[in-house]
Amino acid sequence: MTISRFLASHRFNFTRFEHRATQTCAEFEALVPAMPGTRNKNLFLRDKKGLRHVLVIVPPKLVIDLDKLSALLGMRRLGFASKDRLRQHLGVESGSVSVLSLIHDLSNSVELVIDQTIWNAEAIQAHPLINTETVVIPQPELKRFLATTGHLPTVLDIPGVQ
């Protein structure tokens, strides 16, 4: 099922914006006009042995301290997952990752970790699995989306590099 059909079939309230393709937060900042909702950065990580996978959502300018985050999550050495793992677990390419990617995680094998700042926002911005569009999702709809997909977030003050 496409994300558009999924959102429509569950009657999610969101606003869609089209824009130029972007691969990074810096490109998004430079090329995409301001829109409602909080911007964020999405990182797909894995533990040292590749047994646990985590989607981490943080403010765009936060540089995560992976050692401290690993300790908070009780994991050994978090690192970036490969493009193959990204496709396998979330069904998207680099530059298109967002919380909406979780519709492809039918086995709920991906853990979701959201920074407290993003979680407390009235609405967030998310790519609908492609990097030429962004949807703005109000916080109550985000919670409903996560409940619908079976993903309970871990909400933390994610540590940054000092």
Residue 123 has pLDDT above 90, yes or no: yes
pTM for this predicted structure? 0.93
pLDDT of residue 71: 95
pLDDT, tens only, 42-75: 999 999 999 999 999 999 999 999 999 999 999 9
Check residue 108 and give its pLDDT: 95
Extended strands (E) in 81-149: 110-115, 123-126, 133-138
List of residues 6+ apart from 99 with CB closer than 8 A: 42, 55, 57, 112, 114, 124, 126, 137, 142, 145, 146
Q: Which two tokens stand for residue 155?
A: 């909400």
